[in-house]
Structure 1
Amino acid sequence: MDEVKYPILTEKTIRLLEKNQYTFDVNKKSTKTQIKKWIENFFDVKVKAINSHVPPEKKKRISSIIGRSVRYKRMIITLHSGYSIPLFSNK
């Protein structure tokens, strides 16, 4: 299922992990309810809230051709206390 593309790991999202919030890039046409169901079924967790954000387009220039960056939707998922999503494997 290509609802959730991949998790985002930046300095800000690592700080959000302390608040039990996880950030994912998702399919642009996905809704909050679809993502909630997918996350709850796939990771076996309870979702408390979901915030979505679509960043503005950025123009890209390659020689004389002007294009636009790929559009995506980013969702911040807050879980109930006691639940977590394992993003890293312990080796």
Structure 2
Amino acid sequence: MSILKRPLVTEKVSALNKYGVYSLIVDEHADKFEIKKEIEGFYGVTVTKLNTMRYAGKRRSVPTKTCTVKGRRPSYKKVIVTLKKGDMIDFYSNI
């Protein structure tokens, strides 16, 4: 199973793409060395800086006709990757 789950495409990250900064959702149990190795192997780029953040799932409650359903959103790990100058990742090339 791959460590990389999906790219995180937001307005803020899209504005940083021109500086070689990208963001991805990764496996919660992966460490920085595994993530760096996976990104360099999968996309063929050189990673210079890697920042990771863990987000806890938030509690949610949805009122229905008969009762209130309580649940939790999934927790996830986000990574912000800075690439070597001149390198870039095209998330839409395989579509």
The two structures have a TM-score, normalised by structure 2, of 0.85
Residue number in structure 1 paired with 2:17 = 17
Q: Which has the larger radius of gyration?
A: 2
Counting matched residue pairs gives 89
Query: Which runs of 5 or more structure 1 residues have no equivalent in the other structure?
Result: none
Q: Does 1:39 align with 2:39?
A: yes
Q: Does 1:79 align with 2:62?
A: no
Distance 1:82 1:8 in 2: 21
Query: Which runs of 5 or more structure 2 residues have no equivalent in the other structure?
Result: none
* Large movers: runs of 4+ above 2 Å: 62-66
Equivalent AA in structure 2 for residue 55 of structure 1: Y
Residue number in structure 1 paired with 2:72 = 68
Distance 2:54 2:15 in 1: 21
Q: Does the Cα contact within 8 Å between 2:56 and 2:74 map onto a contact in 1?
A: no
Percent of aligned pairs with the same amino acid:
34
Aligned pairs for 1:48-67 (under 5 A) are 48-63=48-63, 64-67=68-71
Partner deviation per Cα, 1:5-60 (whole Å, 9 max, x = no partner): 00011101101102101100001101111000001111111100101111243111
Equivalent AA in structure 2 for residue 24 of structure 1: L
The two structures have a TM-score, normalised by structure 1, of 0.88
Distance 1:58 1:19 in 2: 32
RMSD value, Cα: 1.3
